[in-house]
Amino acid sequence: DGGPLVLGIETSCDETGIGVVSGHRLLADAVASSVEEHARFGGVVPEVASRAHLEAMVPTLQRACETAGIALDDVDAIAVTSGPGLAGALLVGVAAAKALALGLDKPLYGVNHLAAHVAVDQLEHGALPDPCLAMLVSGGHSSLLRVDDVTASVTPLGATIDDAAGEAFDKVARLLGLPFPGGPHVDRAAASGSSVAIDFPRGLSSRRDLERHRFDFSFSGLKTAVARWVQAREESGEPVPVADVAASFQEAVCDVLTRKAVDAARSAGIEDLLIGGGVAANSRLRVLAEERAAVHGIRVRVPRPGLCTDNGAMVAALGSEMVARGRTPSSLDLPADSSLPV
């Protein structure tokens, strides 16, 4: 559509993602995941992830160019996640992006992973309204962000003070004997359970907690409550009602997430709520968010599940926006920063 042709590289966790976009149009989104290699450890092992990125980089790059029907030399810019994420994993992507930028003589744009999770929605629903409120929920992060300009002005309003939402799903899945990553399995199990069977705690929701942590999340207490409940059942010799535990746990997570997201949007006078990250694929989260937002005239945007999880298209989407808004490219000594703030 005449927009800049941008290649995006994502390696912050366990997905090697290479995306190609032209303006807001998605041309290719090639992803190689090392998730299977981490499954038996019950979580991502940084060393294993870095090695997998190195092996997947060139084949994934070739696959993306083929799908997009472009030669590398056609691209106008290279974008790469420079943080936050796993240090060794980020380094592989940043090194690859620098090599391409140098070899092809194209500008390099280091981008923030969280901002990229927001920018990706433009590929699906068009230009982002400024300002909008973004809730990012994944295995690595759970935050509420005020987005005034996705390339330059993203303000954190709150975040998890312990586990990320996806991490809580993964840990509870493990307690219930479900495979890693657990989110989709808990979601499926919950479908045949009752969300009011067990009254699990809602973290940081008491009046006192809300004074200090109005837009923050906490999921470790909830996880512990589930562990205790399951253990008590097992000790009593009764079977664990997996579907009811899954549904009641999922309700506790989605209840807090949607309540705080809508509260944050209302208090900032923002009418558009965007939900991204792997947990945005959760069926209950989507329904509850729509329901609660609608009461206050707030519109909800959720990219399709494939764009919510980590991928290269989101990095390309943010890179394309940086080119469009005339942002200064990064220099070739761009560092990988595992704790890069938004």
Q: Which is nearer to ligand KG4, 138 or 330 (CB)?
A: 138
For the chain, give the longest Cα–Cα distance. Answer: 67
Q: Which is nearer to Zn ion, 163 or 310 (CB)?
A: 310
SS (H, E, C) 257-277: HHHHHHHHHHHHCCCEEEEEC
- The entry of Zn ion, ligand KG4, none that residue 282 binds, CB within 5 to 8 Å by partner kind: ligand KG4
**Residue among 147, 98, 122 nearest 265 (CA):** 147
- The entry of ligand KG4, Zn ion, none that residue 170 binds, CB within 5 to 8 Å by partner kind: ligand KG4
- The entry of Zn ion, ligand KG4, none that residue 309 binds, CB within 5 to 8 Å by partner kind: ligand KG4
Angstrom distance (rounded) from CA 316 to CA 22:
9
Residues lying near ligand KG4 in the complex (CB under 6 A) are found at: 13, 138-140, 166, 169-170, 181-184, 187, 277-279, 281-282, 309-310
Do 26 and 19 contact (CB within 8 A), yes or no? yes
Q: Which two tokens stand for residue 95?
A: 């090194």
Do 179 and 148 contact (CB within 8 A), yes or no? no
- The entry of Zn ion, ligand KG4, none that residue 272 binds, CB within 5 to 8 Å by partner kind: none
Q: Which is nearer to Zn ion, 14 or 255 (CB)?
A: 14
Which residues are part of a known binding site for substrate?
136-140, 170, 183, 187, 282
Q: Which is nearer to ligand KG4, 8 or 182 (CB)?
A: 182
Q: Which two tokens stand for residue 289?
A: 């968010």
Which residues have C-beta within 8 Å of that of residue 189, sequence separation ≥ 6? 176, 178, 242, 243, 246, 247
Do 31 and 311 contact (CB within 8 A), yes or no? yes
Which residues of 160-316 form beta strands (DSSP E)? 272-276, 299-301
Q: Which is nearer to Zn ion, 255 or 310 (CB)?
A: 310
- The entry of Zn ion, ligand KG4, none that residue 181 binds, CB within 5 to 8 Å by partner kind: ligand KG4
Nearest distance, CB of residue 225 and ligand KG4, angstroms: 18
Angstrom distance (rounded) from CA 89 to CA 39:
18
- Bond from prior residue into 4 cis (ω within 30 degrees of 0): no
DSSP, res 74: G
Q: Which two tokens stand for residue 161?
A: 């003070």
Do 28 and 64 contact (CB within 8 A), yes or no? yes
**Residue length of the chain:** 342
Residues lying near Zn ion in the complex (CB under 5 A) are found at: 138, 310
Q: Which is nearer to ligand KG4, 166 or 312 (CB)?
A: 166
Q: Which is nearer to ligand KG4, 81 or 330 (CB)?
A: 81
Which residues are part of a known binding site for Fe cation?
113, 117, 310
Nearest distance, CB of residue 300 and Zn ion, angstroms: 19
Which residues are part of a known binding site?
113, 117, 136-140, 170, 183, 187, 282, 310
Angstrom distance (rounded) from CA 277 to CA 114:
9
- The entry of Zn ion, ligand KG4, none that residue 279 binds, CB within 5 to 8 Å by partner kind: ligand KG4
Nearest distance, CB of residue 170 and ligand KG4, angstroms: 5
Nearest distance, CB of residue 77 and ligand KG4, angstroms: 24
DSSP assignment of 116-139: HHHHTHHHHH-SPPSSEEEEEESS
Q: In what order do the strands lie in the sheet with 153-159?
A: 153-159, 142-149, 132-137, 272-276, 299-301
Nearest distance, CB of residue 326 and ligand KG4, angstroms: 29
- The entry of ligand KG4, Zn ion, none that residue 169 binds, CB within 5 to 8 Å by partner kind: ligand KG4
Angstrom distance (rounded) from CA 116 to CA 274:
13
Nearest distance, CB of residue 207 and ligand KG4, angstroms: 29
Nearest distance, CB of residue 214 and ligand KG4, angstroms: 24
- The entry of ligand KG4, Zn ion, none that residue 336 binds, CB within 5 to 8 Å by partner kind: none
Nearest distance, CB of residue 237 and Zn ion, angstroms: 41
Q: Which is nearer to Zn ion, 14 or 244 (CB)?
A: 14
